[in-house]
């Protein structure tokens, strides 16, 4: 899934770029799904940060415990931690069907926060070049009312199912 904002990660983190693309595609039409994708993006990045800095993982692998781990908190700037927690909380709201807060505006805010974290990640963890990171652009509203858009969304959902399977495999590999 091509992304408007996360393509600079594709060479080393293709799944992250794809998930960012899904989140962009869903931000207006299905903000809950967009927020779940963004939460998955940060879960992957947090795991990679632990690996890159050779931090000892806490006993519990839940995202909040990883983010509040003392070693992690010392390794990551406060502004990045704040954005990680904001995306985590919004993703939790989406996972637990707190529909009244799942708005396109929230999805777009968290999309930009995830982009900001991704830029930091690219520079600090991947030692990438800042010039490779395009300026953030909010995805335009979808025109979900026509048949072509519905067909494209269905293709996205099928591709999403494939990526969910890949993520499950990645999680199993990480546990080993």
Tell me the pLDDT tens digit for each residue of 79-115: 999 999 999 999 999 988 766 778 999 999 999 999 9
- Residue 173 pLDDT greater than 50, yes or no: yes
Residue 56 has phi, psi (to 5 degrees) of: -80, 125
d(C-alpha 140, C-alpha 2), whole Å: 15
Question: What stretches of the chain adopt beta strand conformation (E)?
Answer: none
The rounded distance, in Å, linking the Cα atoms of 121 and 148 is 35
d(CA 144, CA 13): 29
With beta carbons less than 8 A apart as the criterion, state whether 47 and 100 touch: no
For 111, residues 6+ apart whose C-beta sits below 8 A from its C-beta are 5, 20, 23, 24, 27, 34, 38, 138, 139
Cα separation, 63 vs 66, whole angstroms: 5
pLDDT at position 57: 94
Structure confidence at residue 168 (pLDDT): 78
**Does the structure show a pLDDT above 80 at 144?**
no
What does the pLDDT average to over 124-137?
96
Residue 134: pLDDT band by 50, 70, 90 thresholds?
Answer: very high
Cα separation, 43 vs 67, in Å, equals 10
d(CA 57, CA 51): 9
Average pLDDT, integer, range 1-15: 95
How confident is the model over 11-36, as a mean pLDDT? 95
What's residue 83's pLDDT?
98
Q: For residue 148, what pLDDT band results from cuts at 50, 70 and 90?
A: low
**CA angle 22-54-165, nearest 5°?**
30
pTM: 0.82
**Distance of alpha carbon 120 from the chain centroid:** 13
pLDDT digits (tens, 9 = 90+) for 27-84: 999 999 999 999 999 999 999 999 999 999 999 889 999 999 999 999 999 999 999 9
- How high is the pLDDT of residue 150? 61
């Amino acid at each position: 899934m091509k992304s408007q904002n996360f393509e600079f990660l594709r060479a080393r983190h293709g799944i992250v770029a794809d998930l960012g693309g899904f989140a962009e595609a869903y931000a207006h039409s299905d903000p809950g799904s967009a927020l779940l994708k963004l939460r998955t993006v940060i879960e992957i990045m947090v795991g990679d940060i632990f690996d890159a800095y050779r931090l000892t993982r806490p006993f519990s692998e839940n995202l909040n415990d990883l983010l509040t781990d003392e070693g992690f908190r010392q390794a990551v700037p406060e502004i990045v931690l704040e954005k990680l927690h904001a995306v985590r909380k919004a993703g939790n709201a989406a996972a637990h069907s707190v529909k009244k807060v799942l708005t396109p505006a929230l999805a777009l805010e968290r999309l930009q926060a995830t982009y900001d974290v991704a830029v930091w990640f690219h520079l600090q963890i991947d030692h990438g070049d800042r010039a490779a990171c395009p300026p953030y652009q909010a995805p335009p509203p979808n025109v979900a009312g026509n048949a072509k858009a519905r067909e494209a969304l269905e293709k996205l959902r099928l591709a999403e199912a494939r990526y969910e399977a890949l993520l499950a495999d990645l999680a199993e590999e990480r546990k080993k």
